[in-house]
Structure 1
């Protein structure tokens, strides 16, 4: 039976392994922060951390029961998540191209207004269905 120090090191290593890679969610967070400011970006980061913490609590409390249920639907979960992330990427590209066209036709480009609440919901939903995050906690 592992002792508390071993479990702590394992949890710390797992957390760092999940947080370090720069994937689509990190790029979306960077883009959102640069476009809308630190306050809105911080809400996106808080949403991502909240979902990860919720996954961790669920895995800790329900462990194998949840893993077996989600494991049987893992491929669908991954496919839906990938589709949502592709949609968010396409939306980001479309907005960037639209803003570029607008800036070419006028002197100043306008940044679309957003709220911290909308950003939190957008990032929470995207993180819930993000395939790497979901598969990481399923493992």
Structure 2
């Protein structure tokens, strides 16, 4: 069991790295929870399902790719690390400069407008409009499908997991290690999204600016730390 602990913890760190930075999807989830907690729980599961699906796809392809590039494996790890560091740097810069979302009203039929130029996930560019807020509480199944669709349009999430799993191709080559990695990703992402639902349901107001900044620091800090970890040992010329 101990040999599965490392990929499970690695998956959990990867899942938190992609889930913690708060953008438009997180704001929408908080607003959903303020109106209808059960619907928000289904929406949170939809977001986590997409993270898990991208991780599963990357985990399935990563070892195969890594096995065909063994002679330059160290350089591939370094390139993957640089991609992840770029994602982390871009996300941190965007997180500190993106407009602050307007305050949500705890009561009344009006739905606050989500931030216009901010999107969820590592590396989201601040130039695309955020998805519109739902007009009212939807059935859980409909909310799940809607949030799956909104989250799946972020190709950077796929790139994030592809860089991670390709760099760790050898360690995830066995079915057990790959499954443990996915368990960590899915559990961490789902727990984080459900924590946001709980915050939205209990607080009845948007998350504070200070807390939001810290989610960017912690989330993208995890991405940067993971990048440094997979970069070593560094390749040697020759």
How high is the TM-score relative to the length of structure 2?
0.37
Q: Which whole-Å deviations, capped at 9, do the CAs of 1:93-137 have from their partners, x for residues lacking one? A: xx7xxxxxxxxxxxxxxx734221221111001111124423322
1:56 touches 1:137 (CA, 8 Å); kept in 2?
yes
Q: 2:33 aligns to what?
A: 33
Alpha-carbon distance in 2 for matches of 1:125, 1:65 = 28
RMSD: 2.9
1:82 touches 1:130 (CA, 8 Å); kept in 2?
no
Pairing 1:61–2:85 present: no
Q: Which has the higher contact order (CA 8 A, sep 6+)?
A: 2
Alpha-carbon distance in 2 for matches of 1:136, 1:13 = 12
Q: What secondary structure, in the 3-state scheme, does the structure 2 residue paired with 1:15 have?
A: helix
2:25 touches 2:151 (CA, 8 Å); kept in 1?
yes
2:59 touches 2:162 (CA, 8 Å); kept in 1?
no
1:82 touches 1:131 (CA, 8 Å); kept in 2?
no
Alpha-carbon distance in 2 for matches of 1:42, 1:22 = 17
**Paired residues, what number?**
102
How high is the TM-score relative to the length of structure 1?
0.59
Q: Structure 2, unaligned stretches of length 5 or more?
A: 66-123, 164-238
1:127 touches 1:133 (CA, 8 Å); kept in 2?
no
- Kindly report which structure 2 residues correspond to 1:118-137, keeping only aligned pairs within 5 A, or say none: 118-137=142-161
Change (3 A) 1:118 1:18: same
Q: Structure 1, unaligned stretches of length 5 or more?
A: 67-80, 96-110
1:43 touches 1:120 (CA, 8 Å); kept in 2?
yes
Alpha-carbon distance in 2 for matches of 1:13, 1:63 = 18
Alpha-carbon distance in 2 for matches of 1:17, 1:125 = 21
Alpha-carbon distance in 1 for matches of 2:142, 2:26 = 17
Alpha-carbon distance in 1 for matches of 2:130, 2:20 = 24
- Per the TM alignment, residue 12 of structure 1 is displaced from its structure 2 partner at its CA by 2.4
Q: 1:105 aligns to what?
A: none
